[in-house]
Structure formats: C-alpha cells, structure tokens
Amino acid sequence: MRASPRLVKAYLDMPWGQLHYRTVASDPDLPLLILLHQSPLSSRNYEAALALLAEHCRPIALDTPGYGNSSAVPEDWTVADYAQVVWDTVDAMGADRAFVFGRATGAVFALEAALSQAQRVHGLILHGMPVYTDDERADRMRNFAPPFQGAADGAHLAGIWKRILGEYPWIGPELATHFAHDFLSAGPDFARSYRAIWRYDLPQRLAAGVGLAGLPTLLLGGSADRIAFMHARAVALLPQAQAVWLEGATDFVAEQEPALFAEHLRRFMAAHRGRLLTAPNGPRTL
C-alpha cells in the first residue's frame, strides 16, 4: 500500500511579514489549489484532506495573515488585501492560475480573489459562504467578537473555551483544544479579519465588479453548519454556481469527513481543469 505523502509546513516571505502554509508533495504539473480557512482558525483545518487531494492538484493551505503561524497585519487591512495574498502565493509557487477554495471568512477572501483576477482562476469553491444583511453586518461589528483580556489567573482561557463550546457544543475536547490554540495564536484581537468582511458590501461588490459569469463556481453547504441558513442567500446571490448540499455536514467537514470533502473538490477540479476562456486573442485553455 502506498504511503500517504508527508505533510510539509513552510513559510513564504511577503512584504507584510511571513505567510505560513501547509502542503504535501504532489506532481508540479498538476493545477494549484489554494485553500483558505475560516477565522480565527488556521490551515490545520485541512491537514487531513491534503493527502487525499494531492493526486489531483497541488494543495496549498494558507494561514490567513494574522492567524495560525502567519505574521500579523495592520488593523486597516481590507478584504482586497487578504485576497491579494492568494495571488502573491500563486506567483511564489511559480504558477499562472489556480483553483481557489475558501471557507466562511476565507470564502469572502476567495471570492474577492476571483473577482479581482478572474482570468487566473480555474474554478472557485466556496464552503459556507457568509452573506450578511446590512443589519447583521452592523450588529456583528458592534457585538460579536470583542477582544479578550489576559488574566493573571488564566480566566481568559476559560472564556475562550466557553466561547468555542457555546458556538459548537457538539465539538468534543480534541477539536475544541485545537480551536483554543488557534484563538490564542491569533492574539487578544482575534476578529481583525472578521471586521474586514463586515465592512465589505458583498452584493455591491458583485454589482460593481467584472462578475463571475462563466467562471466555474461550486457552493458547498451543510445541514449542520452553524451558518447553514446563509446557503440559500449565497445561491440567490450566485445563481450561476453549482450548489451542493451535504446532509449532516458541519462547518468542519474537511476535518470530520475528509474523504467526502476531498471527493467533492476532486470532482469539481476534474470537470473544470481544462475549461476554455474567451480572451482578446480567442479561446485559450486553462
């Protein structure tokens, strides 16, 4: 039986600091897949899936700047700043194009990456796409994720644990411990990237941008996802996308059911690796 490819953790030097990522060895001729996680977690979310994807792509799971082991970034970073990291990574990997995947917060960054440089995207995969109303964005900005304060007796650690179990009461101690580590790695102000997406008017951006018509797009939703109610909003906002509903799947299907997660990504990538784009000099294959 062939051994699974070894997990590799590495860094890229960027103008703003160091970008940490996880990957496994794969054929350099395969298409690149950039994976973006939800905040305030890390690329550890995709460790179990990377080896399952490696025969079909070059999977690169990034730690969002300011999270995991990536360097912190300024408070005023926008969604466009986070999205640009995708293309800086693709350039650093020596590729012209990539499939782009994002989960929750990462899905917003992935979408903006596609809007900003659609000609470089083989296909876009959005898992648990957050689509907020104006009122929800304003409420979250005010109330959702205030910084935690360190306490001499460690009470802030209990507060983080309580927050995690409050959001995911079914999660179990092993996964909750991983999440607590990611919260602490992000620092007291763990909501910096959240605020970027709450300032981002998604419908307005779609209307103002070049659009995603003709760009293969997959929307993944799960019935046990904490933001499952937003899946219908995402389908309405992106009517050209292929929508897949995973019964019983949680926010963390990549960790809990990595084979199922990888299979949906593999099918999508296989279907769209050779798509044609209309370019000024005629169609060209990606």
Query: Three-class SS of residue 174?
Result: helix
**Does 15 reside within a domain?**
yes
**Does 139 reside within a domain?**
no
Range of the domain at 120: 7-134+197-270
**Does 279 reside within a domain?**
no
The confidence band for 1, taking pLDDT boundaries of 50, 70 and 90, is: low
Q: Judge if 105 and 228 occupy the same domain.
A: yes
Token pair for residue 206?
A: 């779609």
Of 96-100, 170-174, 241-245, 254-258, the range with the lowest mean pLDDT is: 170-174
Task: Give 199-233 pLDDT, tens digit per residue.
Answer: 999 999 988 766 788 899 999 999 999 999 999 99
**Does 17 reside within a domain?**
yes
Task: Give 151-178 pLDDT, tens digit per residue.
Answer: 999 999 999 999 999 999 999 999 999 9
Token pair for residue 284?
A: 């060209």
State the pLDDT at residue 279.
Answer: 33
* CA atoms within a 13 Å half-sphere pointing along the CA-CB vector of 118: 15
Q: Which residue has the tokens 């926008």?
A: 78
Instruction: Supply φ then ψ for residue 223, to 5 degrees.
Output: -70, -25
Q: Judge if 127 and 181 occupy the same domain.
A: no
CB 38 within 8 A of CB 82: no
State the pLDDT at residue 2.
Answer: 64
Q: What is the mean pLDDT of residues 9-23?
A: 98
Q: Judge if 103 and 174 occupy the same domain.
A: no
H or E, element range at 177: helix 173-186
Q: Judge if 96 and 182 occupy the same domain.
A: no
Q: Judge if 79 and 184 occupy the same domain.
A: no
**Does 285 reside within a domain?**
no
**Does 277 reside within a domain?**
no
Could you give the number of structural domains in the chain? 2
CA distances from 211 to 33, 111, 129 (A): 21, 10, 17
**Does 214 reside within a domain?**
yes
Task: Give 248-286 pLDDT, tens digit per residue.
Answer: 999 999 999 999 999 999 999 999 976 433 333 333 333
Q: Judge if 11 and 122 occupy the same domain.
A: yes
Instruction: Supply φ then ψ for residue 179, to 5 degrees.
Output: -65, -40
Handedness of CA 164, 166, 168, 170 (dihedral sign): positive
Q: What is the mean pLDDT of residues 118-145?
A: 95
The chain-wide mean pLDDT, for the chain, equals: 92
Q: Give yes or no for residue 141 having a pLDDT over 90.
A: yes
